[in-house]
Amino acid sequence: MSMAGMDVRRVRGGARGMRRERLPDKEHQACGLFGVIDRSGRRFGGRVAIEAVMNMRVRGNGLGAGFAAYGIYPEYKDYYALHVMFQDWDLDAKREVDKFLEANFDIVCSEEIPTNPEAPVIDPPLIWRYFVMPHKKGEERRLSDDDYVVKKVMHINTKIENAYVFSSGKDMGVFKGVGFPEEIAEYFMLEKEYRGYIWVAHSRFPTNTPGWWGGAHPFCILDWTVVHNGEISSYGTNKRYLEMYGYYCTLLTDTEVMAYAIDLLMRRQRLPIEIVAKILAPPMWDHIDIMDERQKRLYTTLRMVYAPLLINGPWTIIVAHHGEMFGITDRIRLRPITAGEKGDLLFVSSEEAAIRAVCPDLDRVFTPMGGEPVVGRLKSREKELRRRAEEVV
């Protein structure tokens, strides 16, 4: 856990005896992204994602890589799967987490995540997984299961030193660390151990050097994962707006801001990605001004109300949660994104070459416009959404 946010220092001259909170530094980075979904729900091993992201080696520098996979724990699919990292093999932290989880959850399984000790990674922390069911007491009964889990995860991340929750969704998991993507994949044995219907991969090029396993991507809250490439020039604006809604950026990465913005808009405010895209990367006023009255009113209102969530600067993200994966780039496309389709498979990637490396005979390849999301949904989910929409009418 980065403690920069809590770092304080004495005032120079000190006569007033006052302390100034040291304002935290933000990380800067560039990255390679890859995501694939099988829209029929068929599950497959990690190899596609590993080979694709390996093909973008120059987009990383070995200081961080990670994967998210959905549909990997069918035997425990009704339980929240918590992947928890213990920095420096801190067993006191583990004991504390065990105690905390026992007090707040029913734990149905608790085990070390299988790893390959031969893999060429340096200083891996202890990584444990727990399959749990919320055990709510008193006032907390009023919280939804999801909100309860978020609250408990935040507690572990901020209050228990050396413990950090990698992922906390059902039937999914995040595997990440310091190294090149193939090294991380080898360490967690992703190719053989897991089969999922969505795989997201990330290779990182941080421009400062926090070699910290928790700092790698994907960033995860419940079953939502975000991988991100870019630097957000609106970081301060976004961060301070999100603080009003109880999101405190403790990781100091742009990705965190993205993840919270998406959590606020999509999970809490229940807006679909088609609308959220127009908030994060809205069309230009010149464009809005020539729309028909109805559209103009919608887009103007979105920009007016959600102005602090416009994400400015160069970025591409791939976001996934159960049943849906999407990729989107900034409003003037300052970071690359390419999409490809082959049957039920939809690929989103920083580079077409990465997609071609794993699927040479694509049905279709396209480069979306800035702010235009590429959305892959499970066919079952598409049907469900259509049914719900029709009910409203």
Partner 1 sequence: MFSHLLPEFIVERRDDRCIRCRACERQCSFEVHRYDEELDRMFSDEKRCVGCQRCAVLCPTGALIVRPHPGEYRRNANWTGERIQDLKKQAETGGVVLTGSGNDKPYRIYWDHIVLNASQVTNPSIDPLREPMELRTFLGRKPDVLELRFNGGDYEDVEIATELHPNVMIETPIVFSAMSYGALSYQAFKALAMAASEYGTLFNTGEGGLPRELRKYGKNAIVQCASGRFGVDPEYLNCAAVIEIKIGQGAKPGIGGHLPGEKVTLPISVTRMIPEGTDALSPAPQHDIYSIEDLSMLIYALKEATNYEKPVSVKIAAVHNVAAIASGMVRAGADIIAIDGLRGGTGAAPKIIRDNVGIPIELALAAVDRRLREEGIRNKCSILVAGGFRCSADVVKAIALGADAVYIGTPALVAMGCTLCQKCYTGKCNWGICTQDPYLSRRLNPEIGAKRLVNLLRAWSLEIKEMLGGMGINAIESLRGNRDHLRGVGLEDWELEVLGIKGAGE
Chain residues in the site for partner 1 (CB under 8 A): 11-13, 16, 18, 20-23, 25-26, 28-30, 207, 230-231, 233-237, 240-241, 243-245, 269, 271-272, 274-275, 284-286, 297-298, 301-308, 310-314, 331-332, 334, 385-386, 389-390, 392-393
Among 318, 336, 335, residue whose Cα is nearest residue 327: 318
State the nearest-atom distance from the C-beta of 325 to partner 1, in Å. 17
Among 32, 51, 43, residue whose Cα is nearest residue 75: 43
Q: Residue 290 or residue 304: which is nearer to partner 1 going by CB?
A: 304
DSSP bridge partners of 339: 348, 366
Q: Residue 26 or residue 356: which is nearer to partner 1 going by CB?
A: 26
State the nearest-atom distance from the C-beta of 94 to partner 1, in Å. 36
The tokens describing 285, both together, are 């006023």
Q: Residue 30 or residue 107: which is nearer to partner 1 going by CB?
A: 30
State the nearest-atom distance from the C-beta of 313 to partner 1, in Å. 5
Taking CA 11 as the corner, what is the angle to CA 7 and CA 13, rounded to the nearest 5 degrees?
A: 155
Catalytic site residue from 31, 220, 249, 359: 31
Known catalytic residue: 31? yes
Annotate 178-216 with three-state secondary structure. CCCHHHHHHHHCHHHHCCECEEEEEEEEECCCCCCHHHC
Distance CA 238, CA 28 (A): 16
The tokens describing 307, both together, are 């102005």
Q: Residue 80 or residue 247: which is nearer to partner 1 going by CB?
A: 247
Q: Residue 116 or residue 301: which is nearer to partner 1 going by CB?
A: 301
Q: Residue 167 or residue 329: which is nearer to partner 1 going by CB?
A: 329
Distance CA 247, CA 50 (A): 32
State the nearest-atom distance from the C-beta of 125 to partner 1, in Å. 28
Angle between helices 47-54 and 181-188 (to 10 degrees): 160
Among 347, 350, 318, 315, residue whose Cα is nearest residue 331: 315
Distance CA 264, CA 108 (A): 30
Q: Residue 136 or residue 303: which is nearer to partner 1 going by CB?
A: 303
State the nearest-atom distance from the C-beta of 38 to partner 1, in Å. 22
State the nearest-atom distance from the C-beta of 91 to partner 1, in Å. 36
State the nearest-atom distance from the C-beta of 278 to partner 1, in Å. 10
Q: Which residues are catalytic?
A: 31
